[in-house]
Amino acid sequence: MSARTPEGRISDTIIRTLRSLPESHAVKRPGGPYGAAGEPDVDASVKGRAVKLEVKQPSSRKRLTHHQRRALRAWHRAGAVAAVVCSRDEALDVLAAAGLIDGRVVDTQEIARLTCFWLEDEDASDV
């Protein structure tokens, strides 16, 4: 894991947290020339369900590239938990809203609005 950027530090914290959960594993996907364009930053499985998280700083939450939107939509349609998150707590809220962790009370509609905004402007031509 690389924490050279603010997003990298957030990703590292999220990955450590996900790895500490029962029945879970998480890795950082490589970016740049070594990764597939637009694939989410965090690739995880929690209780057998795929989890794909794009990590952003709060100030750039809604600045997704076309490739990032397309990848998140494809993962969502395939049944994965797919979201844009800006913190460890948001990542945990997303998992709680998906029923993958217990003991965390969340407003499911607010979490969806905050982390899955990219579904609202879905265009069938993106797939």
pLDDT digits (tens, 9 = 90+) for 64-73: 999 999 999 9
Q: How many domains does the chain have?
A: 1
- Domain residues for the domain of 107 are 6-126
Provide the token pair at 65.
Answer: 């590239």
- From the DSSP assignment, how many helices (H) and strands (E) are in the chain? 4, 4
Tell me the pLDDT tens digit for each residue of 8-17: 899 999 999 9
Whether 81 is covered by a domain: the verdict is: yes
For residue 25, tell me if it sits in a domain. Answer: yes
Asked if the structure places residue 110 within a domain, the reply is yes
Give this prediction's pTM. Answer: 0.87
- Across all residues in the chain, what is the average pLDDT? 88
Residues of the chain above pLDDT 70, percent: 88
Report if residue 1 sits inside a domain. Answer: no
Cα 56 vs. chain centroid, distance in angstroms?
9
Token pair of 38 as six digits? 């637009």
Cα dist from 94 to 4, 31, 32, 124, whole Å:
25, 23, 26, 25
CATH number where 105 lies: 3.40.1350.10
